[in-house]
Amino acid sequence: MSFQIGIVGLPNVGKSTLFKALTRNEVDAQNFPFCTIDPNVGVVEVPDDRLQKLSDISKSEKIIPTVIEFVDIAGLVKNAHKGEGLGNKFLSHIREVDAILEVVRDFHDDNIIHVEGKIDPESDKETINLELVFADHETVKKRLEKTTRDMKGKADKKLEKELTLLKKLDQILENGEWVSSHNTEYDDEEKLIIKELNLMTSKPLLYAYNVDENELTKEDNSPDNTIKICAKLEAELAEMSEEEMREYLADSGIQQTGLDKLITASYSLLNLITYFTTGEKETRAWTITNGDKAPVAAGKIHTDFERGFIKAETVAYDDFVKAGGWSGARDAGTLRQEGKDYVVQDGDVMMFKFNV
């Protein structure tokens, strides 16, 4: 299972150009609003240098990286929640993704029209964010009305809990805030209710400021949920060979591609980590949520592995490389037998034992 990142923003901010560069998929990126009507989905391999090293040690026949899906969602406009533009259709697409990547225009090009007639990143962010707040507020109000009706004449603790939460969410959204901004206040039961509501403002949010290329070499003091990227440059890099790309980046003083930066930020945003399986047949990366235990990690390979989990032979990546493989790690005493309560760490190299 891969994770989906929905790319959103106002029209003509560089979303489709960025998507095309990241996924190398051909999409319509003409200079007019709403050119992207159906969401384009692109599967992107997650770069990880550790895969090649593990493969070399195991002499694997193939390497299989983990992936993230990017969904290019058409531009939203003011009052999209009321159906302006093609708003309602696109809002439904946003509800289906795991996280939101909001592209904000911060570049200057007189040939590309800004839908609001001016370059103002903070105003653009406010427009998009409020549209999602307004749409979620409608969802919560409808559910609040239904739950209130269902409560009449009943003493149902579950409904009481839901009603209390819905009133709280109603107030949060009424104040123009995102539901996720209060994450520390929800208990586990409330989080399940919020997940069921599938609110857009409950999803993790990453901002990508689409800047001019010369901004990429300046000191970046952006917050953790913000990256700077040049979609125009990414489109040019996508046409180069790997060697040409690395040479260009080195000459330009740019530390990493926008894709690498975006993948790293997306992983952090979704609280994801990677573990590995490796052998002669294949070396493979697997994505799990930070904090997942060994049986859950095993279930990513096959549900039978989770149901019949016995133990996991585990070696930290650095120890595996240092020992030169499974047998070396066993001899060095760095191979561990982990049980059902083991919390998997990023970079763990694992082999599962299970009952069919």
pLDDT tens string 10-27: 887 888 888 888 876 544
Does some domain include residue 343? Answer: yes
Question: In this structure, are strands 40-45 and 62-64 parallel, antiparallel, or unpaired?
Answer: unpaired
For residue 324, give the CATH number of its domain: 3.10.20.30
Q: Which residue has the higher pLDDT, 37 or 13?
A: 13
90 has a pLDDT exceeding 80: no
**pLDDT more than 70, % of the chain:** 87
Amino acid at position 90, single letter: F
Does some domain include residue 63? Answer: no
Does some domain include residue 73? Answer: no
Tokens of 6: 């929905």
pLDDT tens for each residue of 133-190? 998 999 999 999 999 998 887 778 889 999 999 999 999 999 999 999 999 999 999 9
Burial class of residue 223, CB neighbours in 10 A (0-12, 13-18, 19+): exposed
Does some domain include residue 300? Answer: yes
Phi, psi dihedrals of residue 245, rounded to the nearest 5°? -65, -50
Of 16-30, 80-94, 228-242, 277-291, give the range with the top mean pLDDT: 277-291
**pLDDT more than 90, % of the chain:** 51
pLDDT band at 73 (very low <50, low <70, confident <90, very high): confident
**pLDDT score at 82:** 55
163-168, long-range: CB < 8 A, 24+ apart: 165/190, 165/193, 165/194, 166/140
Overall number of domains in the chain:
1
292 has a pLDDT exceeding 90: yes
pTM of the entire structure?
0.79
User: What average pLDDT does the structure give for the chain?
Assistant: 86
Sequence-ordered strand ranges (E) for the chain: 3-8, 40-45, 62-64, 67-72, 99-106, 205-211, 226-229, 272-278, 282-289, 309-315, 336-338, 349-354
Among 299, 288, 330, 328, residue whose Cα is nearest residue 313: 330
Mean pLDDT of 212-239: 87
108 has a pLDDT exceeding 70: yes
28 has a pLDDT exceeding 50: no
Does some domain include residue 249? Answer: no
Does some domain include residue 226? Answer: no
Does some domain include residue 303? Answer: yes
Q: Which domain holds residue 349?
A: 291-354
**pLDDT score at 37:** 42
Does some domain include residue 347? Answer: yes
**pLDDT score at 69:** 85
